Amino acid sequence: MEGQIEKLGPKGPPSPAHGATATLARDLVGLSREELGDVFAGLGESPYRVKQLWHWIYHRGVRQFSEMPTFNKQLQGLLAESCRVARPEIHRFQESADGTRKWLLGFEDGTEAETVYIPETDRGTLCISSQVGCTLTCRFCHTGTQRLVRNLTAGEIVGQMLIARDHFKEWPSPKEGRRISNVVFMGMGEPLYNYENVAQAIRILMDGEGLALSKRRITLSTAGVVPMIKRAGDDLDVQLAISLHATTDELRDELVPLNRKYPLSELIEACRTYPRAANSRRITFEYVMLKGVNDSLVDAKRLVKLIRGIPAKMNLIPFNPWPEAPYECSTPKAIAAFADVVNAAGYASPVRQPRGQDILAACGQLKSASQRQPKAAERN
């Protein structure tokens, strides 16, 4: 495709992460400070070592214990015998004509997930996956057609950030002018169905002595797992995005089947009570524009009524097609008219520019290649 650079690999230099010792050595990425303390205790070392290790892994991006000079040779050797600082493997890397980048990452069990980087003028957003595949089967989403699903571990989630940081050589963690300034959980999977691992990963992303992302620059996006929304608000207090997409239960039941479990009234109530939702901390409602399905002026007016009183902004997403998708994108005219109604009611409603379409990196297009092949083979 025009403007598309595709690089296979790199598999990277041989490291313990890919060798026979990999399964024996414990990956330290994704462990909490407490868990790392236990690792050092097991080696007869004091817990203050955790602070040093944290600095090397998350502030400096170092992967080899031999490159951590605050540890003497003996300790470096002990660590290398039983532990490692791993990265997911890069199975494929693509760069779009518009600067969007997409990684297909491979994990130890051979499963894969995608991570996308989206550069904008005032920020750079890393879109992270929380699961391999997704159980939700939203009708307009490509990821939902993937069969294999498992939760990603905290290490695999944080690993996506480390890979992107490696790519930009953004080590040590800069305070200003970061290429990766924001993280959104809008890749593959439903983050609130993998809550513990996502929460642990977010705590690592936010840790001021490491990756040091502010909670205002981290967005959890959910299709509406109502009981977990409150929990996430209490525990993590990050930005919240809701994949709304419909204004009646009848339609939302069809587009987002999770709605049958947690209907609109409960979802909206959870948003109303999301802690510290305020004008400076608005909730984002994502709304995919589907031609003739949810894009009428009646829908727009009902939407405004539905979210009235919630500090919110809308994110109108032109539907991104994928092979055999059952929907079409609304016309630009319909999207503009819809946005006008929402704007007039006082809500910012930018229309999201599709990014990275030439590499299938846009919302709802993510699906790992390993999953595409078996299906194609099946058809043959």
Residues annotated catalytic, as ranges: 114, 363
Q: Give kind and range of the element (H or E) at residue 185.
A: strand 182-185
Asked if 195 touches ligand SAH (CB under 6 A), the answer is no
Strand, helix or coil for residue 36: helix
Asked if 288 touches ligand SAH (CB under 6 A), the answer is yes
How far is the C-alpha of 49 from the C-alpha of 43, rounded, in Å? 11
- Supply 60's token pair: 């400096």
Supply the minimum distance, in Å, between the C-beta of residue 10 and ligand SAH: 28
From candidates 79, 201, 223, 228, binder to ligand SAH by CB under 6 A: 223
Strand, helix or coil for residue 84: strand
From candidates 330, 363, 367, 368, binder to ligand SAH by CB under 6 A: 363
Q: Give kind and range of the element (H or E) at residue 298.
A: helix 297-306
From candidates 160, 182, 247, 320, binder to ligand SAH by CB under 6 A: 320
Supply the minimum distance, in Å, between the C-beta of residue 148 and ligand SAH: 16
From candidates 85, 152, 158, 186, binder to ligand SAH by CB under 6 A: 186
- Supply 4's token pair: 């598309």
Q: Give kind and range of the element (H or E) at residue 317.
A: strand 312-318
Phi-psi region of 362 (alpha: psi -120 to 50; beta: other; left: phi over 0): beta
The residue among 53 and 184 lying less far from ligand SAH, judged by its C-beta, is 184
Residues 291, 329 contacting (CB under 8 angstroms):
yes
Whether cis (ω within 30° of 0) applies to the bond prior to 172 is yes
Asked if 293 touches ligand SAH (CB under 6 A), the answer is no
Per CB under 6 A, the segment of 18-26, 47-55, 118-126, 134-142 that binds ligand SAH is: 134-142
The residue among 60 and 139 lying less far from ligand SAH, judged by its C-beta, is 139
* For helices 332-344 and 297-306, angle between their N-to-C axes, nearest 10 degrees: 30
The residue among 274 and 319 lying less far from ligand SAH, judged by its C-beta, is 319
Supply the minimum distance, in Å, between the C-beta of residue 328 and ligand SAH: 11
- The residue ranges that bind ligand SAH (CB under 6 A) are 138, 140-141, 186, 190, 221-223, 243, 286, 288, 317, 319-320, 363-364
